[in-house]
Every structure is written in C-alpha cells, then in structure tokens.
Chain A
C-alpha cells in the first residue's frame, strides 16, 4: 500500500489494502483529516482491498462527520467497486459534505 498526498485535501491510496496496512492507513487518514476541511480519497489505483480497509473507510466517514469535516471517495478502482458490491458497502454512502451532511458523489 502506498499513500501519496497529491494536493491539499486530495490523497491517493494505491496498491493492495490489507489488514496489515490498516494501522498506517488509519494514522494517515487522521493526519490528513486534521489538516484540511475536506478530504478526497482517490482510490483509482487500488488493486485490492480487504474488509478491514473497507471498515476503515467507514470509520473515516464517521470521524469526518463528528469533526465537521468533508470526506469523499473519488474514482474507486474496478477492484474496489467489485469488493464493495460483494460486501454490500455503498461507496457513495461513505461521502459526507463539509457541513457533516451526506452528499451524493
């Protein structure tokens, strides 16, 4: 897994998201969410993601919501889409606007 800050508020995560990376992804997300009013997570380069990483995305959404920050997932890769479909997690539902309200992608 690799986490790259592309610009302010946009972070790209790429590679395989495995439970063993969950802790580093968690700290990265905490830090990024602290720094900006709204965070966009670019998942276009993710090759695979496991349940733990999906759970972490849910957690990030919750954090954003409680802290009044925005959070959005952009262009999920086909692998991420497939996994989210299997798990029954709607990536769209993971989006929160800056005001803490859910927003459509």
Chain B
C-alpha cells in the first residue's frame, strides 16, 4: 500500500472511531432509558446504533468488532420483532455487549487485548438470553417498530423494488455495497442487479469513486423501515427508492382505474416515498478535527488583536475617512469571533449522559440506591472546557455516591426516601456556567472535618474558622475523611484535584452543605477560554489585565490614606474593611507612585480583595495567549495578550497572586493578609 493509500485507510478508521464513540454513548443512554422502562423507541435506537457499528467496522476491516456486534444485533432484532421483551435485564446485557464492543475496538487499535474467551462467553449469554426469554412476547414493541407506511402490509411476505444509486464518494466514507447486498439478502430472497453503464473506461476512471448503481427486488416479511435501515449509513448524498412492487404497478395503472382502495394504497405509497426523501435531505453535517477549530480560534484571536491595533492607529494618525471602514471591520470581526467561538460550543448533555452509566454502575457496586437527575443538559460550553470538565465531575460524583449517601436503611430511619438522588445541573449565570452536583445525603460533618484537619496538621487546633472555611478544608491537598479506602474514592486525592482542575479552567468551586440533609458542590466556569473580557490596568511601566468576571469595583487610594494605615494594607470601603495587595511592592516595580492610586477590588473565594494599581485604563477584549516555555512556572500570570500597539500585557492569575502576597506577608510579619480583615 502506498503512503497515500495507507493514509486513506487510516482516515476511514479515524472516522469510524469517532462515529463509534458517539454511537456507543448513544447506546449507553438508550440502554439506561430502557432499564428505566422507556422501551419503545429506545430499542430501535440501540439496534440502529449497533447496526451502524457493525457495518462501519466491517468496512474498515475490523472484522472482530463486526462479528461480535452481529450477535447483539441478532438478539435486538428479536426484541424488535417482539419475541423478547425489553427489560432492565436486557439493558444490562446490552450494556455489557456495548462495553465488549468498546474493548474490542480498543484492542484492535493497539490497546489492551480483550481477555481471551470473554467475547465467546458474552456471545453465549446473548444467545441464551435470546433462547431463554424466547417465549415471552411483547406485542406493543413490535407494533412500535411499524410505521404508517407498513400499515398496509401485514406480516405476509411482500415484494419490494429497491433502487440505490450511491453518492460517488461512497467508498471514501467507508460504504461497502457487498455488505449492503448481503444484509439485504438476509431479509429475504433478493435479486440484485448491478448497473455499470456509468462506469468510465480505465483511462478516465477514478478508481476510488463509485459509479455503480443497483436495483434489487426483495421478497421479505420485513417492513420498509427495516429495508431502509440497511442503507442507513450510505444514503447520504445518494438516491434511495424503496417501493412495494405491487403498489408500484398499481400506481402506473392508477389513471385508468380509480378504485377507492387503490387510491388509498397509492396515497400510502406516496407518504412512504416522501418519508424516504425526507431521510435523504436531512441536515448535512461535516466532521472537522477539533485541532482545525482550535487553529481557527487562534486566527480569529489574532484578527481581533490586529483589529484593535488598527483602531488605535486610526485615532493616532487622525484619519477620519478611515473611521467608517474600521468600524465596519470591528463589527465583522466581532461577529466572526462570536460565530467561531460558537462552533466550539457543545451542550454539556454529552458529558451528562456518560455519568448516568457511571452512577448506575457505581451505585450497584457500592450497594447504594441512587438516582441521577440531570437538568440543563442543553447548556453549552466551549469544547476545550467540556473536555477538561469530565474528570473533576467524575471525582465529585464518585465522592458523592461513596461518602455522600447513607445506606438505604439509615435513610429510611431518618425519614428520607430509601433511594438517594443526585441532582446534576447546569445553568448559565452571566458570562459563566454553573455546574452543580447536589445530593440529599448525609451532608458534611463539620466536626469530623475539623478534627481531621487538625490531625493532619492542616490547621492549628485553636484556629477560629468560619463555616465556609471549614467546608473549604476538604479541598486541601492530602485531606480525606474516608475511614476505609475503597476503590471508588477516598485516597485523599479527590477534592484538591478537583479544585486544581477547576482553577486551571478559571473556574471556582463553592461547597454548601446542610448537615444530615444535603451537600451541593457548585462549579462556576467561564463560557470560553479563548477570549475573555478583561480590565486593563497600569502599574509602573507594565500593563496587566484582570479577568473582568472577578472584578467588582474600583476605588481610589490616596497617598495620605496609605501612610495612615501604616502598611497594614487594608482599606475601608463603605464601612467594610478590605485587605489589599500592593502590586508595585509585590512585583518590586520601579518608579514613583502617583499621588492617587487605584484599588481594583475582586471577589476571590467569596472574599473581597483589593489590588493597588497606578491607573485603570479600561475594559479590554482579551485574546488569551499562553506564556512561552520559559515562563511556565510563573504562577501569577495565567497568560498574556498582545495589545493594540503591539505591546504585551500579562493576565493576572488572581488566586496565585493572592497566595504569593499572603506568603510574603507571612514571611515578613507572620500574619496572613487574609486574616487581618
């Protein structure tokens, strides 16, 4: 195989892997819905998903996947036809099958090999399930799979005329007519004719394009939907016509004979056809590697920076005739920026559906009865944030199931429902999204937390902590109150990891808990990481940017006032004493202070903290650029941005800057700035 051909093959496999990932997630969701009793449409969904996996994997040469999936499909087909009832037990079998498919795919891609015999064992389970439950019938499911078009057809064998002219790129997208025709033949007796009138001669043919088209006559008891399912993943961009042979003949004669039942038949036929064409004109989508989107976002970022530079230069050279076009560019760039960032926005629901499975499995493993309720699944977040949000949420959910809930009997004794509920919600709140995990479990025991923190020497035994501070102790590194270490949580790496990960996403973690009743952990996250609204300030010769979401207000600091407080670094704002960090001193910047300085007050972990700067320059659309390799360990700046004039402004990392200031203050006077307030 040439390099190009290998690349094409790899592309197919990549496409398949992406597709399979989505389909497996869908199976997960549908199987869980089925276990909760929602069985009608879900079985069709599961069947279609497995069917697609079978087809695509076969096309990519992943025969092990296709072979295994075939057995699941056989079982599901029996469910669809009503011979086997949908049940929670069936859902478990489907889930196990799904996991095996994933494992086989991973193994084929060079991952851990599938344990020997595990597939065979599961196939046995699938077969015995199909056999064991074969006598139970569930007619309503069978009915659910029938569409209006098949009302005409009872379960008698019928002849269908199928005309399939695929999209020329059929082979590129992994379509394999051999498998299609084989699948078609499996529905009944099938006569296929390949038409090669459109195939060009060797000199002009593109060997990778598909010029062939097919007609087939199929005698089957299956309905139109089942036939269409065969072509499900190849019909895009192609032509597919499926019509009952009898009705087709009737339709031709319809003008002459106008018997009422024939008209009805023709009408039904028409509606069936329009159904087919509807399926063909469904909204087309394009799969794009996320790397290309990232590049697009970067380019737009640079465009935004250059645009602000242009605006600045226009005012400098004073060319009023430029004002209009520059404003127009400004508007277009802003629109482009919103659109491009919008492409990366994904509903958080994709993440939520993963957790339903996890909660299902974990609660079984730990013998706890827990339901997961999700809200706001359509809330959108930037993909890069969503990608990094999975892990912390997994930690939180695990913690919640493992520590958060009392055993069922204890719950009943307390007058709570036996089954616990985890409420996973997402909602917009200004320019951020708040994701919260709430449970109706035992709550956080303050005394236990405090005792543990003292024992671990995280706090002094006599320290006077607010309720909030006690709760926040559980996010300190090395803190774990679990009495026994389970394989679920309790290695003491949970909450501090969560906190750190959310910090890197520029988010905040807030814990609320009512002892004995509930715990809610809320993660507040920015909508995007690429461009933020910032407050531009100047200290000495440097410019800094505060993330706007944290800034609450600016106040003045008179030189006299500063001297008066005698380096205690607190200012009174409307009666409230607010500690402040002197950035000039902290960063050891040179130059004289202006007579009147400004204090930018930010909200940090529910406490207000001020930062002294020389001047506040205004708001700034900040395109975040990561710092170079040499500055990686500079914690006080989370990134940088390039200004309109080409200069660089650092973006202040508020948490780290406060930590640094606090550390310096402790070194200097052994008192924390945060406790002076």
B178 in complex: contacting residue of A23, A51, A66, CB < 8 Å: A51
A63 in complex: contacting residue of B6, B8, B181, B203, CB < 8 Å: B203
Nearest-Cβ distance from residue A76 to partner chain B, whole angstroms: 15
With A and B bound together, what is the CA distance between A49 and B647 in angstroms?
Answer: 63
Nearest-Cβ distance from residue A82 to partner chain B, whole angstroms: 10
Query: A-side interface residues toward B, CB under 8 Å?
Result: 19-23, 25-26, 29-30, 33, 50-52, 54-56, 58-60, 62-63, 66, 83, 86-89
With A and B bound together, what is the CA distance between A20 and B6 in angstroms?
Answer: 8
Residue of B nearest to A23 (CB): B207
Q: Digit string of B310-341 for contact with A (CB within 8 Å is 1, else 0)? A: 00000000000000000000000000000000
Asked if B669 is at the interface of the complex by the 8 Å CB criterion, the answer is no
With A and B bound together, what is the CA distance between A29 and B200 in angstroms?
Answer: 14
Interface centre among A25, A83, A88 (most CB of B within 10 A): A88
Q: A87 to chain B: which residues have CB within 8 Å?
A: 177-178, 181, 192, 194, 214
Main secondary structure of the interface of A (DSSP, over half): helix
CB–CB B196/A55 < 8 A = yes
- Given contacts A51-B210, A83-B178, A87-B178, A59 and B205 within 8 Å (CB-CB): yes
Q: A60 to chain B: which residues have CB within 8 Å?
A: 202
CB–CB B192/A86 < 8 A = yes
Nearest-Cβ distance from residue B200 to partner chain A, whole angstroms: 6
Asked if B191 is at the interface of the complex by the 8 Å CB criterion, the answer is yes
Q: B182 to chain A: which residues have CB within 8 Å?
A: 86
Q: A89 to chain B: which residues have CB within 8 Å?
A: 194, 196
CB–CB A52/B207 < 8 A = yes
Interface centre among A20, A23, A60 (most CB of B within 10 A): A20
CB–CB B176/A56 < 8 A = no
Asked if B125 is at the interface of the complex by the 8 Å CB criterion, the answer is no
Query: B-side interface residues toward A, CB under 8 Å?
Result: 1-2, 5-6, 8-9, 171, 176-178, 181-182, 185, 191-194, 196, 199-203, 205, 207-208, 210-212, 214, 216
Nearest-Cβ distance from residue B476 to partner chain A, whole angstroms: 57
Can you offer 12 A-B residue contacts whose CB atoms are under 8 A? A19-B208, A20-B5, A50-B176, A54-B212, A56-B202, A59-B201, A62-B202, A63-B203, A83-B178, A86-B182, A87-B194, A89-B194
- Given contacts A55-B211, A86-B192, A88-B191, A33 and B202 within 8 Å (CB-CB): yes
Residue of B nearest to A27 (CB): B202
Residue of A nearest to B211 (CB): A55
Nearest-Cβ distance from residue B510 to partner chain A, whole angstroms: 55
Interface centre among B178, B185, B193, B214 (most CB of A within 10 A): B178
Interface centre among A21, A26, A59 (most CB of B within 10 A): A59
Residue of B nearest to A66 (CB): B201
Residue of A nearest to B216 (CB): A88
Q: A55 to chain B: which residues have CB within 8 Å?
A: 196, 199, 205, 207, 210-212
With A and B bound together, what is the CA distance between A56 and B199 in angstroms?
Answer: 8
Q: A19 to chain B: which residues have CB within 8 Å?
A: 171, 207-208
Known pairs A20-B5, A51-B177 / 9 extra A-B pairs, C-beta < 8 Å: A21-B5, A23-B5, A25-B207, A33-B202, A52-B207, A54-B194, A55-B207, A59-B200, A88-B193
Q: B178 to chain A: which residues have CB within 8 Å?
A: 50-51, 83, 86-87
Nearest-Cβ distance from residue A13 to partner chain B, whole angstroms: 14
With A and B bound together, what is the CA distance between A13 and B2 in angstroms?
Answer: 18
- Given contacts A58-B196, A83-B178, A87-B194, A30 and B203 within 8 Å (CB-CB): yes
Q: A54 to chain B: which residues have CB within 8 Å?
A: 194, 212
CB–CB A59/B192 < 8 A = no
CB–CB B201/A63 < 8 A = yes
Residue of A nearest to B1 (CB): A20
With A and B bound together, what is the CA distance between A51 and B192 in angstroms?
Answer: 14
Q: B176 to chain A: which residues have CB within 8 Å?
A: 50-51
B181 in complex: contacting residue of A26, A52, A56, A86, CB < 8 Å: A86
Nearest-Cβ distance from residue B153 to partner chain A, whole angstroms: 25
CB–CB A58/B199 < 8 A = yes
With A and B bound together, what is the CA distance between A25 and B205 in angstroms?
Answer: 12
CB–CB B199/A59 < 8 A = yes
Nearest-Cβ distance from residue A21 to partner chain B, whole angstroms: 8
Residue of A nearest to B166 (CB): A51
CB–CB A51/B171 < 8 A = yes
Q: A25 to chain B: which residues have CB within 8 Å?
A: 207
